[in-house]
Chain A
């Protein structure tokens, strides 16, 4: 990214122009909401210990949703000149007029102020709230990203490495015909890499609002230590094992719980396991969605959703009791609730879900952490120390839902598994397949410990970010190994 990609006010002006165009083309009764996003993403990717792909792009996208005479249609364009915007409005109006009546139209978000976050550092002079926005990250250069990759590769001390260093910047605005008009911006950096040795991979992964927080050398050393600790793996028979999941694996639990469980549409359609007010989790489990960040962390997301609803923290589970699901205006209307600010371009079809969940860490370590850098993540060491016999699992891979209602998932371990006996790692273990209900694994009495340190982990695909400590569970159903 470069200086010209850091913009000011352009998106709100563009959104207002589109709202005015809608009034001209469709008349004063049309209800319209407009989202304008300027996204700049740069990703420096390495493999076989060289930078083999190095990409950047910057694009402004205008999204329009229109409700006209009881009918609804939406459209997007990256062609933001006068002709492009008029074309967007005219084809969306034409589509709405040809559409069947939309009985589920939830109406527009009324004018509403944005919420401040715990991390708010902005001036508050106008509607833009920066929430700890780091301009240096937004302006990061290819050389800065490449430098972190170089440090990662060197720190692996000759092990083969692969991964990426990424910076993203988004400036966005929302306007609707009901008078809601808000804007915001966010920047984020992430690094995710592996080191490889004789068939064993070790991983290090971290997200932050500041590129300066990402230490390529520290991450490379951690990945290499795990790869070295993964040598000579044994094969274990399938069965139920006690496990300590490191933060990378816990993030997968949060991802699947979010998308399929705390999804307002899935809940309204009885496809989710969620029962509001029920003791569905161990009392040690508290899950909070934090799109505006928390404490000293930057805001990972924008302060409003695609319907202009201001975002704020949402407690999903408190001390084991399920409290809420995520809603956009459509699912909220269906459930008799209010929007929680989770509308996206796809939420009406796929449902709104939390995108920035934190599993609350335990207040303090119950045992002192070991000093040496080894196979075990710092967050997991106290939990490993009190596991009599079980598995330490670093990461999960390719997890897929077998049954949505019970959230039975199958997937594989990745990037390191170890056998733990009497609180000590005794052997590396080959990757295994599991088939396990996620809510059941977190049920009452089955969570034996939660780490004291949350790690911010970047998304792997879907624009989410989770904060996860390590997790000690009584039982995990391993259903296969390398032999089948």
Chain B
């Protein structure tokens, strides 16, 4: 069933009410999730949501209105209301806005999916998550938790410039965590990531994680961490696993290259960026091993789509090439303000929210090494993996991360397990110290990226592999 007609009604109504540009997204989404604890289902939920959101540009001012009603009358009302809100925005106007061109296309796109996750029986999915937590509990976890999540989204986009695009995106993922309680502290280990692994994929992604097989090791490592020595304090060589590096990319590169932040549009909440547009193309972000791409076309990655929420087709671009900052994540209006000629990174998390600049798949191109080679070439250092905490300042410079597990590296070999490993640094100094990078890339999915007011939760992807950094401050404690 198509919803182009309702979207078209809303766009026409906005134009009739004075808008010089308007677009509308109709979205229908079904969700399902299950959490399990210690071998029992904790919560099983499903959701259905349908509605439309209209954007209207009157003069230089935007308005947005959304309703959960797909009738023609509601669509007309929403279009008019979006234009009325845009008129109110002109109370405090900005400079004239133009939009960078986006070819008006009529198109259809769907993500790859071998096993429909919503079509699979609940008992199969439940047996897997419950079974994984039971296995961790049996292996000695004080608390074993598991989760799977599924999103099935259909979207119809119409603009006053002639776009008519429908997309069907299926996303899912899962993960488990084993916790061990000690005297005044808790240690935890997660597989395959601290919130699980997610992608634009069918249930085959979850099957590939082999949760039950890894559960006992998670429990054993959590228990062992309780008596492991603390991560030492000081400056050392740091080797990060790919999962942790994915979040490092997300926080200290992905958000920093969002053009709305660079322009100050997020200054009061998410923050700005240390990057200055005047140095685009010349600023050294990292070492020559650092090549970051913006690629919404990676099959199966969580930040993939056919077209963004302004109708711009998915296109791969460089963000950092040979360590030099060369690209941003942009929308049609922000790109025009910045004097750039490309957009393509605007999305909303649902029909009720305004599309805004968001990460797609922002990741590192593979390096020439393997993790084993990196360890073997490190005389003295620390290996850390699997994120446990993350914090970064509002300019995306000063970061501190905690990981679930660490190991000493001595004379080219992994040594003792270390508990409470943390590291801190300043973004460009850190990235410029990257001197070894693995080729073992995984496109990690982040299903919980918060941004915007009202808040939106974005789904992003981050190809990353293990890497080595020098002279990093580790072991920060309270």
Contacts and interface: CB of A to CB of B under 8 A. Distances in A.
A437 B44 CA distance: 34
Given A77-B48, A100-B126, A479-B476, A50 B92 contact: yes
Contact of A48 (B90, B94, B179): B94
**Secondary structure dominating the interface of A:** strand
B92 A79 contact: no
A55 B267 CA distance: 18
B391 A270 contact: no
A480 B425 CA distance: 9
B267 A75 contact: no
B454 A55 contact: yes
A460 B90 CA distance: 26
Interface stretch (A146-154, A319-327, A386-394, A419-427): A146-154
A410 interface: yes
A48 B454 contact: no
B94 to A, nearest CB: 3
Interface stretch (B34-42, B108-116, B152-160, B437-445): B34-42
B275 to A, nearest CB: 15
Interface in B41-85: 41-51, 53, 61-68, 81, 84-85
A55 B65 contact: yes
Given A57-B66, A404-B186, A433-B424, A99 B122 contact: yes
B391 A100 contact: no
B264 interface: yes
Interface in A325-341: none
B92 A149 contact: yes
A194 interface: yes
A477 interface: yes
B184 interface: yes
Nearest to B251: A398
Contact of A349 (B35, B63, B91): B35
Interface string B87-114: 1111111110000000000000000000
Nearest to A80: B68
Interface in A38-58: 41, 43-58
A48 B268 contact: no
Interface residues on B, range: 35 or more
A102 to B, nearest CB: 7
Nearest to B65: A56
A77 B454 contact: no
B88 A53 contact: no
Interface in A52-67: 52-60
B269 A460 contact: yes
A192 B270 CA distance: 13
Contacts of B62: 52-54
Nearest to B182: A405
Interface residues on A, range: 35 or more
Interface in A79-132: 79-80, 84, 87-88, 91-92, 95, 98-100, 102-104
B41 A75 contact: no
Nearest to A409: B478
A87 B48 CA distance: 9
Contact of B42 (A50, A348, A404, A412): A348
A484 B476 CA distance: 12
Given A59-B68, A92-B46, A484-B429, A143 B88 contact: yes
Contacts of A160: 264, 267
A103 B40 contact: yes
Nearest to A147: B91
B65 A98 contact: no
A402 B389 contact: yes
Contacts of A99: 41, 44, 122, 126
Contacts of A49: 92
A324 B333 CA distance: 51
Given A402-B402, A437-B478, A484-B398, A51 B89 contact: yes
Nearest to B188: A404
B266 interface: yes
A73 B300 CA distance: 29
A76 B186 contact: no
A41 B389 contact: no
Contacts of A431: 393, 398
Contacts of A147: 91
Contacts of B68: 59-60, 78-80
Q: Which 6 pairs from chain A and chain B are nearest by CB?
A: A50-B94, A142-B88, A146-B91, A57-B66, A162-B268, A408-B478
5 contacts: A44-B88, A75-B46, A435-B400, A440-B478, A480-B424
Given A92-B46, A431-B398, 7 more contacts: A43-B454, A48-B94, A59-B68, A79-B49, A162-B265, A403-B420, A405-B186
